[in-house]
């Protein structure tokens, strides 16, 4: 039944010694001269990533990006916005991490359109949550910051692929001399590829090295501290990717804070107040809605995201006055930024501070928090009772 040079099915008794059970069939490659073995010359998949020519890597990346975009499209049909966010940030977006280690994803000439398509698909989630087709620069920046830094935790291709690829190259250049000493010169330490002050870049010893040098150049152009950190570090740092990402994220955080701060009235920095209030909590947005405590209605979740991105909640047209729904106080200026003191603002601060909203805040905010604290204490084995306010 075997046909030379072709895949064929083999029953258990023919494949004795291969551990097949009786009756099981499996595809086998019949022993045959090499002339019939298919040999890939452009590239192959190794440990889940592409190794090969630029065309092969691009084609591989294109297929993966298309899969991720299709996943995001399926996610967009989930009824819960919080579920959409959790699934995207906690799971789907990590599918490209391994790819970024193996391809120079920051090379615009090769991957520029994939970078754009991927980032746009990822952005569709926060755009949908905020109900905005376009996000201003400061909100875009916040979208990409980590939740602990007051952001939403979306990892965009444009801002992460260079760090990931560079860390991968540094790892390679460190281990390659031990694994293949004769070819070690093709992967020199990354700092040997940095041009001296005022000098042209040194000639890259191999085509594979040039993208790593360009990735470092792009990173250090935005984050000079990365270069200083590399100079003072060992040949390869522990957790290199984490270190590089941390430094670049800190630089990006400073840039976003600068944008946010620029929106403020210097005498009343409400954007920075809210930004700092949002920092440090990496849990709330990451909790998968599974019960009444972790589930938020779409309206509440969207409002929370809008406030986290420091966007206005209520819009008034020119000539209209913003008005507090509780005490009916009206604003005096077109933008609350131009108010001399706290007034009715377009960001929702008024509602949180208005005295007439106190009973509502107690019912919707204070009381549920008390219940959660009681639940946590009981989960820890404590006997607790709720004491009613006198
Ligand atoms: Zn009020």
Q: What pLDDT does 155 receive?
A: 95
129 CA distance to ligand 1 centroid (A)?
27
CA dist 373 → 262, 283, 349, 366, 382 (Å):
38, 16, 25, 11, 11
350 CA distance to ligand 1 centroid (A)?
6
- Domain definitions of the chain by residue range: 7-36, 51-311
Question: Residue 243 burial (CB < 10 Å; 0-12/13-18/19+)?
Answer: middle
343 CA distance to ligand 1 centroid (A)?
9
71 CA distance to ligand 1 centroid (A)?
44
347 CA distance to ligand 1 centroid (A)?
13
Q: What pLDDT does 75 receive?
A: 96
Instruction: Return phi, psi of residue 265, to 5°.
Output: -75, 120
372 CA distance to ligand 1 centroid (A)?
28
pTM of the full structure? 0.81
270 CA distance to ligand 1 centroid (A)?
17
Render each residue's pLDDT in the chain as its tens digit; 390 residues: 344 444 444 443 343 333 333 444 444 445 555 556 667 678 888 888 898 888 999 999 999 999 999 999 999 999 999 999 999 999 999 999 899 999 999 999 999 999 999 999 999 999 999 999 999 999 999 999 999 999 999 999 999 999 999 888 888 888 888 888 888 888 888 888 877 777 777 777 777 788 998 998 898 888 888 877 777 665 555 677 778 888 888 889 999 999 999 999 888 899 999 999 999 988 888 888 998 888 999 999 999 999 999 999 877 776 677 888 888 888 877 778 888 788 888 888 888 889 998 998 899 889 999 999 999 999 999 999 888 765
281 CA distance to ligand 1 centroid (A)?
28
296 CA distance to ligand 1 centroid (A)?
25
328 CA distance to ligand 1 centroid (A)?
6
318 CA distance to ligand 1 centroid (A)?
21
CB contact at 8 A, 145 and 151: yes
Q: Which of 162, 159, 164 is nearest to 119 (CA)?
A: 159
152 CA distance to ligand 1 centroid (A)?
30
* 165-204 as b/e: b if 16+ CB within 10 A: bbbbbbebbbebbeeeeeeeeebbebeebbeeeeeeeeeb
CB contact at 8 A, 247 and 225: yes
CB contact at 8 A, 128 and 68: no
295 CA distance to ligand 1 centroid (A)?
28
284 CA distance to ligand 1 centroid (A)?
28
230 CA distance to ligand 1 centroid (A)?
54
12 CA distance to ligand 1 centroid (A)?
80
Q: What pLDDT does 232 receive?
A: 65
353 CA distance to ligand 1 centroid (A)?
7
91 CA distance to ligand 1 centroid (A)?
41
d(CA 84, CA 302): 12
342 CA distance to ligand 1 centroid (A)?
11
308 CA distance to ligand 1 centroid (A)?
22
335 CA distance to ligand 1 centroid (A)?
17
344 CA distance to ligand 1 centroid (A)?
7
Q: What pLDDT does 245 receive?
A: 83
358 CA distance to ligand 1 centroid (A)?
10
321 CA distance to ligand 1 centroid (A)?
14
């Amino acid at each position: 039944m075997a046909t030379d040079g072709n895949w064929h099915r083999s029953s258990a008794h023919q494949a004795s010694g291969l551990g097949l059970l009786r009756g099981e069939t499996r595809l086998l490659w019949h022993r045959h001269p090499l002339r019939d073995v298919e040999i890939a010359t452009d590239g192959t998949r190794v440990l889940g990533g592409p190794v090969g020519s630029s065309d092969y890597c691009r084609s591989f990346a294109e297929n993966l990006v298309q899969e991720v975009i299709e996943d995001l499209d399926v996610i967009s049909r989930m009824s819960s916005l919080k579920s959409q966010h959790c699934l995207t940030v906690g799971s789907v977006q990590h599918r490209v991490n391994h790819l970024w280690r193996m391809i120079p994803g920051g090379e615009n000439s090769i991957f520029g359109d994939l970078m754009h398509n991927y980032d746009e698909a990822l952005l569709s989630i926060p755009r949908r949550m905020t109900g905005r087709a376009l996000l201003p620069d400061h909100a875009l920046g916040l979208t990409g910051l980590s939740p602990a830094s007051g952001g939403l935790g979306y990892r965009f291709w444009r801002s992460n692929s260079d760090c990931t690829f560079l860390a991968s190259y540094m790892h390679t250049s460190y281990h390659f001399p031990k694994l293949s000493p004769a070819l070690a010169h093709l992967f020199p330490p990354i700092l040997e590829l940095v041009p001296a002050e005022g000098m042209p870049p040194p000639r890259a010893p191999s085509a594979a090295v040039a993208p790593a040098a360009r990735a470092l150049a792009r990173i250090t152009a935005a984050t000079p501290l990365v270069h200083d950190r590399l100079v003072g570090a060992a040949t390869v740092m522990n957790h290199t990717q984490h270190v590089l990402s941390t430094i670049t994220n800190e630089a990006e955080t400073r840039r976003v804070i600068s944008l946010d701060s620029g929106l403020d009235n210097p005498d009343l920095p409400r954007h920075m107040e809210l930004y700092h209030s949002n920092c440090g909590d990496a849990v709330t947005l990451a909790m998968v809605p599974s019960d009444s405590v972790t589930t938020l209605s779409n309206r509440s979740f969207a409002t929370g995201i809008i406030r986290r991105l420091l966007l206005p909640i209520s819009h008034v047209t020119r000539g209209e006055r913003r008005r507090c729904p509780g005490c009916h106080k009206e604003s005096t200026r077109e933008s609350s930024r131009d108010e001399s003191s706290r007034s009715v603002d377009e960001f929702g601060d008024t509602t949180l501070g208005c005295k007439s909203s106190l009973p509502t805040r107690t019912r919707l905010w204070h009381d549920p928090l008390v219940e959660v604290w009681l639940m946590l204490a009981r989960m820890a084995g404590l006997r607790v009772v709720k004491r009613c306010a006198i």
